[in-house]
Amino acid sequence: MNLQAEFIDSIAILAPQGRVDTFSASMIQNQFEFLLEDGSTKLVADLSAVSFIDNAGITSLVRVMKQARANGGDLKVVWPIDPQARFLLDLTRIERVLDMTNSLDEARLRYMLAS
């Protein structure tokens, strides 16, 4: 798994590519925790290039969302494009828990509208 990080308009964006499994999920969670400790409150997990995500990945995202909200922030998550990666997320109805978006632009817009 590759993990790209960038800041756009004070929004911290992590974009994993490939598989998000037990090992990589902990890496992603650690990076988000570092961003939160550094004062970032607007977080985005861009899963558009993820080809697989397991329960550990989903659990990590929920933990990050809870930590962000406890610090006055939030986590927006971009749906994966890959149908196999999206299948488990659909199956778990994750959109009831996480703020899911169809694109990075939509995630950024939601933050702008909330300001």
* Angle at the Cα of 7 from the Cα atoms of 101 and 44, rounded to 5 degrees: 25
The tens-digit pLDDT sequence of the chain (115 residues) is 899 999 999 999 999 999 999 999 999 999 999 999 999 999 999 999 999 999 999 999 999 999 999 999 999 999 999 999 999 999 999 999 999 999 999 999 999 998 7
Tokens matching residue 100: 């899911």
Do 108 and 101 contact (CB within 8 A), yes or no? no
pTM of the model: 0.95
Cα-based torsion angle of the residue sequence 109, 9, 2, 61 in order, rounded to the nearest 10 degrees: -60
Q: What is the pLDDT of residue 24?
A: 96
Domain annotation for the chain: domains and CATH numbers: 2-103 (3.30.750.24)
* Angle at the Cα of 66 from the Cα atoms of 6 and 82, rounded to 5 degrees: 55
Q: What is the pLDDT of residue 115?
A: 77
